[in-house]
Amino acid sequence: MNIAIYGLGYVGLTAAGCLTHSGHRVLGVDVSANKVEAINAGKTPISEPGLDKLIADAVSSGQLSAVQSIQGGLKDFDMAIVCVGTPSAPDGSHNMGYIAEVSRQIAHALGAAGPRATPLTVVYRSTVRPGTIEELVLPIFAAVLEQPGAYVELVYNPEFLRESIAIKDFFAPPKIVIGTADGQPSANMEKLNGGLNAPTFYTGFREAEFTKFVDNTFHALKVSYANEIGRLCLDLGIQASKVHEIFVSDTKLNISPYYLRPGGAFGGSCLPKDVRALQYIAADIGVAVPVIDNVIRSNDAHKHYLFSYASEGLAKGAKVLMVGLAFKADTDDLRESPNLDLARKLLQAGFKLSIWDDTLEPAKLVGQNLGYGFTHLPSMDALLVSKDEAEAGSYDRVIDTNGRAGSLALTSSSVISLDHLP
């Protein structure tokens, strides 16, 4: 199929690489000139293991190109996939401005191109409030097109990609959820997912839209619960790793080990944003959700606890090496990274801080990732050191946030791991 992908962030660019690998032809659309230039040169503007080769191969073969806007309509396309951001507004709700603007652009492009033999399948993958397709997206198309059903087939298809293993998750998803107007299968979605082996659920728009909130809030809850148990274990002299081993061995009742290991606080672009959005929705409709309301508070408490735990016994002016600044290893995503908060606290406490992150290159950061990183840690450039500099330094303490300290030849014997609590 010929596919246009709107929004070339982590989700959109991963989809572009994987879909071209599956034989589809993709045109990426993003307002960032730097992203478009990098992609057309066969380079990926984000760090995701394996994605650089997929993008280079796709551009080399002519299956992938990128533009800042589509000129001449969408007449030759079978599908458009919307992967633009839905960042948190100050009240916790999702900012739907990008969704509305891209929907308007697609509607006008379809109208300008004239009648189609078959409708364009427009697939939304951005996390949105239940009711968004029916109450925001469909009215935009209806305002531009007299008979929207003749031009467009609307689909909501949430993604379940974990950064750093997104390609693996794309080709082996835990499930496939597809929301359509009548809850019935879509021919183009069947083509898109033809090579994937996963449970597939066709449902209405609202059920599909709500799926991501349910998943991400539960993942955030699991992380927070595990970390509360980890704090109790440390203060009670209990081996947290043994408690974790026992707990996750029960796959019949305790479900699975994912997100349930005591360690770092949760962060990134999905879990905090979607927990806040679900809080907003609950408040908006007058439903009390006390557990969900406290997930972010528990995570914030764990961030401060980890700072106290990692810095205990250090004198003011002590030299500290922090390993890992992004919210997890193998990614350069700084959005809501708890490690930014940790770095700021260490600086405020008067420690001499250096940071080594083998994936992070500030010059390559773009968009919200760039803005968030430097807003929360303006001195990032000065703090980051190379591997050689990290190994040559002498530190009073090494704080390992992502499990990568073992790849450094360090002389310091004081290494505190926050990735796995002991």
Residue 306 to residue 96: CA distance in whole angstroms: 34
What is the CB neighbour count within 10 angstroms for residue 55? 28
What is the CB neighbour count within 10 angstroms for residue 361? 11
Nearest one of 124, 113, 41, 104 to 77, comparing CA atoms: 113
Give the DSSP H or E segment for 120: strand 120-124
Tokens linked to 408: 């450094």
Nearest one of 49, 259, 82, 268 to 167, comparing CA atoms: 49
Whether 18 is catalytic: no
260 phi, psi to nearest 5 deg: -115, 20
| End-to-end Cα spacing for the chain | 50
Burial 212-244 (b: 16+ CB within 10 A, else e): bbebbbbbbbbbbbbbbbbbebbeeeeebbebb
Location of structure tokens 């001195």: 379
> So which residues are the catalytic ones?
270
